[in-house]
């Protein structure tokens, strides 16, 4: 029986898997999950293969447990070969092993580290709904055997509240900020979701053109980054720019007349004056 979503998970992550299924089915999306949907007396492996091949989307609950599971690697490999769109719902902040990364390098990643889980489930449900409205992916060979790339419009079909622009050297600061903004209920996009196999420029341009606000993190690295300066220029032209200093630096000439939030000494405290000012700026852009 065809279904919308196949949920791939380690038995040790059953609580999260059950929560995902409950949330999606509450929105009338059909889910297949073992052992619930394995018919009594049926061959287990055959049931799983049939379910994967008849599903539009696979949600992989990625955790330390899943990363160590040979069964999950087989499920993901089958999904890739059959053109099933894969969404990684990451509950542990760890990189995948190379054997698993080989198959998921072009998948969409959704981080679900910070509580509450319900907020991440809501975002997941919206993403799945959007993906289901898109044409099915064609079946393809495993990565490395073809030039397959997934349609970039599936990566983030919904308008994002906050786009974070930063230099790669400031990745830890961007990650910290993304987590704090998500904790306030905003959807945040940064280039962590872009992996090998996706068209980098297209994804960046689409998100930059549709985000309600663009936070640019100015540092000794980003002030010399043509990429960051170009993103800041696009945001300025759209009047959605919210600049922030994370190091005491002289800004590029084109941006010196912009009021800039001071996050130089911010350590993640939500009561920090600079962080509160940043949130006010994001709110004003989102309401415009």
> In this structure, are 181 and 254 located in the same domain?
yes
Q: What are the pLDDT digits (tens) for 13-30? A: 999 999 999 999 999 999
Q: Which of 6-10, 86-90, 138-142 has the highest average model confidence (pLDDT)?
A: 6-10
pLDDT of residue 195: 41
DSSP string, 221-245: TGGG-HHHHHHHHHHHHHT-EEEEE
Q: What are the pLDDT digits (tens) for 26-72? A: 999 999 999 999 988 889 989 999 999 999 999 999 999 999 999 99
**How far is the C-alpha of 6 from the C-alpha of 80, rounded, in Å?**
13
Query: Could you tell me if residue 141 is left (phi over 0), alpha (psi between -120 and 50 degrees) or otherwise beta?
Result: beta
The model's confidence at residue 196, banded by pLDDT at 50, 70 and 90, is very low
- Give 57's strand partners: 5, 85
> In this structure, are 53 and 169 located in the same domain?
no
Q: What is the pTM of this model?
A: 0.54
Q: Which two tokens stand for residue 123?
A: 């975002």
> In this structure, are 97 and 171 located in the same domain?
no
pLDDT of residue 131: 83
Tell me the residue range of the domain where 68 lies: 3-144
Domain count, the chain: 2
* CATH number, position 13: 3.40.50.10140
- Give 88's strand partners: 60, 109
**Is residue 156 domain-resident?**
no
Q: Which two tokens stand for residue 246?
A: 């994370």
Does 150 have pLDDT greater than 50?
no
pLDDT of residue 121: 94
pLDDT of residue 197: 39
Q: What are the pLDDT digits (tens) for 230-277? A: 999 999 999 999 999 999 999 999 898 889 999 999 999 999 999 999
> In this structure, are 62 and 104 located in the same domain?
yes
Among 127, 159, 136, residue whose Cα is nearest residue 59: 127
pLDDT of residue 132: 86
**Is residue 224 domain-resident?**
yes
């Amino acid at each position: 029986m065809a279904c919308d979503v196949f949920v791939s998970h380690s038995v040790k992550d059953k609580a999260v898997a059950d929560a995902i299924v409950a949330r999606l089915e509450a929105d009338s999306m059909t889910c297949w999950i073992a052992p619930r949907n394995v018919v009594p007396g049926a061959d287990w492996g055959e049931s799983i293969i049939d379910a994967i091949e008849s599903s539009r989307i696979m949600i992989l609950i990625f955790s330390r447990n899943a990363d160590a599971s040979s069964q999950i690697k087989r499920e993901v490999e089958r999904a890739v070969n059959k053109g099933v769109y894969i969404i990684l719902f990451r509950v542990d902040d760890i990189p995948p092993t190379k054997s698993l990364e080989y198959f998921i390098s072009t998948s969409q990643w959704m981080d679900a580290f910070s509580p509450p889980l319900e907020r991440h489930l809501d975002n997941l449900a919206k993403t799945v709904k959007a993906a289901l409205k898109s044409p099915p992916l064609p079946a393809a060979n495993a990565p490395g055997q073809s030039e397959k790339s997934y349609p970039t419009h599936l990566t983030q079909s919904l308008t994002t509240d906050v786009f974070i622009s930063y230099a790669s050297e400031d990745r830890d600061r961007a990650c910290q900020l993304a987590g704090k903004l998500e904790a306030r209920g905003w959807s945040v996009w940064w280039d962590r979701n872009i992996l090998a196999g996706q068209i980098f420029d297209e994804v960046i341009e689409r998100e930059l053109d549709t985000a309600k606000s663009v936070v640019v993190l100015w540092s000794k690295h980003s002030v010399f980054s043509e990429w960051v300066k170009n993103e800041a220029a696009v945001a300025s032209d759209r009047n959605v720019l919210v600049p922030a200093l994370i190091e005491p630096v002289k800004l590029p000439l084109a941006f010196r007349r912009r009021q800039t939030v001071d996050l130089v000494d911010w350590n993640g405290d939500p009561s920090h004056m600079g962080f509160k000012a940043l949130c006010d700026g994001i709110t004003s852009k989102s309401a415009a």
